[in-house]
Structure formats: structure tokens, C-alpha cells
Chains A and B, each alone.
Chain A
Amino acid sequence: EDQVTQSPEALRLQEGESSSLNCSYTVSGLRGLFWYRQDPGKGPEFLFTLYSAGEEKEKERLKATLTKKESFLHITAPKPEDSATYLCAVGTPGTYKYIFGTGTRLKVLA
């Protein structure tokens, strides 16, 4: 069964304390791995798409990497405004559907 697992469920960091979020997946084939940010009371907002192992994408303090079994979202020197839930999703081949993980709730303390 196709599955996406995110860890940890929740993470509290001090401002400036770098860390990584994990997204592991088991799918029969990968049609892209997607990272989204979701603020409370709002819809998810697109961050990155990764397509093949070894690929990396960066945006401000965020960097996403991809291996054959998992993806990491690295957060460097986070600020309180980085506090949000980060969702990972995979696209399954031969369909137009996505499987979402349950997310990681990140809290960055000033």
C-alpha cells in the first residue's frame, strides 16, 4: 500500500536552532514529492517539488532533499515566522492523485 510518513509529529526549536523534518514514502513509483506549508486556519501553500533522488531545492531558510526512500526539509537558523505545519505529499504514477503525510507541526520560539 502506498504510504507517506512524516516525523516528528511536532518540533519545538529555539530561534536560530537548525533542524530537519523527515518524510519517508513507500510508493510503487514516484511522480514527484511535494512539500507544503500550512498556517493555522489556512490552506496549504506550495514550497517545493522534487522529482529524482539527489535533487535539492532551496528557498530562504528552507532546503529540501530527496533520496529513493525519503525526503528531508532542512530548516537553517529558523525564525518565529517559520512556525507552521509542514506537509509532504507524493504523486503516484499513472494517476492524478497525491498521498499526503500527516504533517510536522513546527514551533520556533523567540
Chain B
Amino acid sequence: NAGVTQTPKFRILKIGQSMTLQCTQDMNHNYMYWYRQDPGMGLKLIYYSVGAGITDKGEVPNGYNVSRSTTEDFPLRLELAAPSQTSVYFCASSLTGTARREKLFFGSGTQLSVL
């Protein structure tokens, strides 16, 4: 199993450009999440999904969009990139929302700079 795979690992964008961060998991997990991590700050939830076709906003959704057409994939779209979106982005997945069985599996992250 590859686990959770994120691409790209690094990206530099100019202000106003758009891009998609890719995330795929091969563990048949139904729950998937996108977090951003800024220096000295905790992980902040951007969007999450409880299954194919179902997504919902987290704490910091502005400037981002997601879709979940399959169980495996959960791409994050940045429209009109802004310097405030400079961050490290992590995708995560979990087998179930039931607390006694859940744990998050994280990808290795995408470091994004918007200049």
C-alpha cells in the first residue's frame, strides 16, 4: 500500500494563478481531509469529505474548492492564488468516523509559495 499520496511536493505560484493539489489514497478510506500548516500554528482544516460526492467546509475554506468523485481521490483547487495561501498542505484519510477505530493517515505534504 502506498497510503496517502500527494502531488506535487513543491510549487511556486504567482498571485492570481490557479492550481490543483492532488491527493489519492489506496486504503479504501471513506473520510478524507485537507489541512494547511503554517509555521508555529496548528493544522487548520480546509475541507473534508465523508464519502464520494459529499464534501463540507472546515475552519478556513475561503479561496479553496474541493470535489470527491471517487473514494480514492480528493483534489484541492486554489483559484486566484494569494500570498496568504503560502503554506504546507496536508491531505489525510481515515477509515471511519467512529472514534474508537479512527486515526488519520497523512500524506507527505505540498509546500506552496505564492509570490
A46 to B41, CA, bound (A): 19
Contact pick for B103, options A42, A46, A103, CB 8 Å: A46
| Residues in A whose Cβ lies below 8 Å from that of B45 | 97-98
- Is B74 located at the chain interface by the 8 A CB criterion? no
Contact pick for A100, options B42, B99, B109, CB 8 Å: B42
Tally of contact residues, A, Cβ under 8 A? 24
| Min C-beta distance of B61 to chain A, whole Å | 12
| Min C-beta distance of B88 to chain A, whole Å | 9
> Which residues from chain B sit less than 8 Å from chain A, CB to CB?
4, 31, 35, 40-45, 48, 50, 58, 90, 92, 94, 97, 99-100, 102-109
> Which residues from chain A sit less than 8 Å from chain B, CB to CB?
4, 31-32, 34, 36, 41-46, 49, 51, 87, 89, 91, 96-103
**Extra 9 A-B pairs, beta carbons < 8 Å, given A87-B42, A91-B102, A99-B42:** A31-B99, A41-B109, A43-B4, A44-B90, A46-B105, A51-B100, A96-B31, A96-B94, A100-B43
